[in-house]
Structure 1
Amino acid sequence: MKNKYFGLNLPMLLAFAILVFIATYLGVLSTDLAGGVALMFSIGIILYEIGERIPIWNTYVGGGLVLAFLGTAALNYFGVIPTEYAELISSVNSKPMGVLNFFIIMLITGSLLGLNRDLMVKSFAGYIPAILGGVLGAAILGIAGGLIFGVSPADTVLKYVLPVMGGGNGAGAVPLSQIYEKVTGDAAANYYGFAISILTIANIFAIIAGGILNKVGQKNSKLTGDGKTLMRNAPEISTTEEKFTTQLKDYVGAILMALTFYQLGRLIADKIWDPLVPAVPIHPFAFMIVLVALANALGIIPGYLRQAAKEVQSFFTKNIVILVMVGVGVETDLLELKEAITLANTVMAFLIVVGAVIGSGLVGQLVGFYFVDSAVTAGLCMANRGGSGDIAVLGAADRMDLMSYAQLSSRLGGGIILVIGSILFGSLM
């Protein structure tokens, strides 16, 4: 059947969405998970389908997913979404309900368990150098931009490069500001306010760059693989190709398995790592990635369960991503972005993102990765706003299957930046 929009024909989609919008504006839409999801799907599907049909936008900017993100941000900024329901969407996406975390957990588990074990080990071994290449490239071009606008190399690295490449807000800008306060004695807020502004600008450039890199890969197949693996000359062998038979109940087991890996990651992060290394907090997702990868390498997960996890991931990637993009849009403050946009900030943030792309892409090439996929994950997913930024970038780049690598950038890469920041704040300020 042609002209289906997530399973709905146009009259049905419009009818359902209009009913939800009427309930919203009359204030009778339920302020629970059911109401929040209904509103998020209504907004997200419409914006997605429009974005997929806008020339240039659908090719170079990221299409429907990016419009769902930025369009929702604009709707919230101009007050089109009532405050009560904007807060509901945010609560569904983040806290207390946490669809965003649930989404990332499913993608990490499915993508890692769908990788051939040998390929996974080889790709992880080369990933840290690719991340460091992105940081170096960001620093070089960032310093060059700083010299143009009269910003010293030290200030460029500390106030521009570190926040942008720090793995987002909660994992990067916030702990960096705390380290800044501890080392310098100046208030953390003085560092954080500027850092989050630069990070916000860079996040937009990273999303746009994701769409451009996807187009580059489509035009030059030598620069990218199938969007699911980083390694050249080593095609991914997924569990779905091994023809395991799954049942619907297996999906429940796969979901429980994924959520348990995350809870174990939290246990390690909160009760083992943080007491031992309080100066360098590591997100539970980083430990979860290590645990899932170890389970895959040791072969302790049955094949049918690995396939079930991969199929759950596929469902989330193709469908639940709409919810997440709307949630991220509501939580994006366009006023904050507007106030941060100056010529110097914009150019320097742009150069840092470009440097991250070039550095991670080139080093990725040296260690056997595809340029585009390495640049997207090891570069752009360092230069965005963490988990929500990863989703926006991977959505624009059409590479959701690389979520596990994106999270390595945001989490382990972010930890590396905190170590670098701890050293540089003491030596350069």
Structure 2
Amino acid sequence: MQVSQNTAVMDRAVQDKAVGTPRRSFLSVWWALVDTRIGVIPVPIYAILVALIAGFIATGKLPTEICMVIAILAVCGFTCAEIGKRLPVFRNIGAAAIFATFIPSYLAYNHLLPDELFKVVTDFTKQSNFLYLFISAIIVGSILGMDRNVLVKGFLKIFVPLAVGSVAAGVVGTLVGMAVGMSAYHSFFFVVVPIMAGGVGEGAIPLSIGYAEILHVPQGDLFAQVLPPVMLGSLTAILLSGALNFVGKRYPHLTGEGRLQPAGDDDLHPAAHPEMTGASAVTTLAAAGITAITLYLVGLMCHRLFGLPAPVSMLFLAVLVKLLRAVSPELQEGAYVVYKFFSTAVTYPLLFAIGVAMTPWDKLVSAFNVPYMVTIVATVATLMGTGFLVGRKLGMYPIESAIVNACHSGQGGTGDVAILTAANRMQLMPFAQIATRIGGAITITVVLIVLAHIV
């Protein structure tokens, strides 16, 4: 893996021996190997885990306890990501996130994963719903760690590029669909709208139910039609967001590296977070973690009582907590460190789990025909391009504004994770949730009202 690093350590060990220092060449090489990692896993530990997983599978009984699941997801997720990170050119446009999501989807669909491993990962992902633990940590941590002025202004501004981008994408996508041989009706209602509906659970399913009631067609047939654009739209958004990350490195003035707009003076800012030290650090991190879980559970209760999606409720609660300064700077620091931990250590294992359990490869492949692909790419590109231009006009960083708009065309919460991972901007998760959840809900509501009036 880091061959040059290992070579340098070996050379240093030889030099130490030559000048009479204690002989530590073997230990130095071993430490260098331990400090060489695949993702976050030291290489020797990685080798041991691979051997253990293979051994358990060979014995015919793969344990289902959480330690086993964590080991499987870590090894498989970081392996897929590592492959993507080492591909020339493609590594610059989000290949790590794409590989961590779609390689396991392909393997699962073609039964190339061991049956026991597939079952353990699928059962854990669906039963534990740990996607929402991840989103809770990311949303609460990023909001509490965000500049307060940027938070207020960003939440007010982000709806403008989102709204303008949605209208522009609807028009352009429909016109392109017509140009490649589809009807305006089919292009708009069955290709363009599903892309911006907010994913699968909050988008494609309620959209297909609404279509079924209005058109008097079986909901299952309609769901099969609207799902492929959701999948391919999310993949397109991942690729384009990865490309924008590369553009940001070439043209730094276009990006805030995760900040939506220039920061003001405030009590806290992600770029200025000091390292947490001292005996109280562990307690603070634990307090921050349970705070994030509590806010999510309050959001879950709001969903049960009022029907508002739990992540959206949690998002607004976290914003309220930040605006009212209801938690101390120390706890805000702890929340930010929890966010950094989850974004660093949990993202790729989570994407692998999503790929195995929640990403149907056949639905993705079914959208790979020229008319669909051209229409979908045009829709997503217009949505992001409009976000770029409008965001710049409003004083926001254009790349960040475009990436938030990209999340409007993502595969729900799972798409947000993949898009922001490809863009290396997980700090934008609160704004991504607005684009996905609220933007998707508004899209579905408006479209169903329009369809009911024209049928």
Residue 278 of structure 1 is matched in structure 2 by none
SS of corresponding position for 1:38: helix
Amino acid at match of 2:296: Y
Alignment partner of 1:384 out of 410, 435, 444: 410
So what's the TM-score if we normalise by structure 2? 0.87
Per-residue deviation, residues 255-312 of structure 1 (Å, max 9, x unmatched): 111111111112222212x3xxxxxxx4211111111001100111111111101000
Alignment partner of 2:291 out of 257, 270, 273: 257
Report if aligned partners of 1:89, 1:327 keep a CA contact under 8 Å in 2.
yes
Cα displacement (A) at 1:235: 8.4
For residues 5-84 of structure 1, what are the structure 2 equivalents within 5 Å?
A: 5-6=38-39, 8-60=41-93, 62-84=94-116
Calculate the aligned-residue CA RMSD, in Å: 2.0
Cα displacement (A) at 1:125: 0.1
Alignment partner of 1:293 out of 301, 316, 319: 319
Which runs of no fewer than 5 residues in structure 2 stay unpaired? Answer: 1-31
Cα displacement (A) at 1:189: 2.2
Answer yes or no: is 1:225 the counterpart of 2:256. yes
Q: Distance in 1 between matches of 2:292 and 2:250?
A: 36
Q: Distance in 2 between matches of 1:88 and 1:287?
A: 31
Alignment partner of 1:336 out of 345, 358, 363: 363
Residue 312 of structure 1 is matched in structure 2 by 338
Alignment partner of 1:205 out of 229, 233, 236: 236
Cα displacement (A) at 1:89: 1.2
SS of corresponding position for 2:38: coil
Which runs of no fewer than 5 residues in structure 1 stay unpaired? Answer: 275-281
Residues 356 and 67 (structure 1), Cα distance of their counterparts in 2 relative to 1, 3 Å cut:
same
Cα displacement (A) at 1:24: 2.5
Q: Distance in 2 between matches of 1:70 and 1:159?
A: 23
Cα displacement (A) at 1:34: 2.1
Q: Distance in 1 between matches of 2:232 and 2:49?
A: 35
Residue 7 of structure 2 is matched in structure 1 by none
Q: Distance in 1 between matches of 2:414 and 2:41?
A: 27
Residues 145 and 242 (structure 1), Cα distance of their counterparts in 2 relative to 1, 3 Å cut:
closer
Cα displacement (A) at 1:85: 2.1
Residues 18 and 65 (structure 1), Cα distance of their counterparts in 2 relative to 1, 3 Å cut:
farther
SS of corresponding position for 1:247: helix
Residues 7 and 358 (structure 1), Cα distance of their counterparts in 2 relative to 1, 3 Å cut:
closer
Answer yes or no: is 1:399 the counterpart of 2:425. yes
Cα displacement (A) at 1:123: 0.3
Amino acid at match of 1:51: G
SS of corresponding position for 2:198: coil
Answer yes or no: is 1:354 the counterpart of 2:385. no
Q: Distance in 2 between matches of 1:210 and 1:24?
A: 37
Cα displacement (A) at 1:110: 0.3
Q: Distance in 1 between matches of 2:312 and 2:149?
A: 20
Q: Distance in 2 between matches of 1:185 and 1:99?
A: 36
Residue 277 of structure 1 is matched in structure 2 by none
Alignment partner of 2:303 out of 242, 264, 269: 269
Residue 391 of structure 2 is matched in structure 1 by 364
So what's the TM-score if we normalise by structure 1? 0.92
Q: Distance in 1 between matches of 2:263 and 2:285?
A: 32
Residue 165 of structure 2 is matched in structure 1 by 134
Per-residue deviation, residues 168-223 of structure 1 (Å, max 9, x unmatched): 00111111111112233322223211100111111111111111111111111121
Residues 205 and 119 (structure 1), Cα distance of their counterparts in 2 relative to 1, 3 Å cut:
same
Q: Distance in 2 between matches of 1:235 and 1:46?
A: 41
Cα displacement (A) at 1:28: 2.2
Residues 126 and 349 (structure 1), Cα distance of their counterparts in 2 relative to 1, 3 Å cut:
same
Report if aligned partners of 2:181, 2:371 keep a CA contact under 8 Å in 1.
no
Q: Distance in 2 between matches of 1:410 and 1:91?
A: 26
Per-residue deviation, residues 51-107 of structure 1 (Å, max 9, x unmatched): 2211112112x14333222222232233221233213212323x2112211101100
Residues 235 and 65 (structure 1), Cα distance of their counterparts in 2 relative to 1, 3 Å cut:
farther
SS of corresponding position for 1:118: helix
Cα displacement (A) at 1:239: 6.2
Alignment partner of 2:400 out of 339, 356, 373: 373
Per-residue deviation, residues 207-250 of structure 1 (Å, max 9, x unmatched): 111111111111111211122x1114658842673657652011
Report if aligned partners of 1:207, 1:396 keep a CA contact under 8 Å in 2.
yes
Amino acid at match of 1:85: L
Q: Distance in 2 between matches of 1:5 and 1:342?
A: 36
Residues 234 and 371 (structure 1), Cα distance of their counterparts in 2 relative to 1, 3 Å cut:
farther
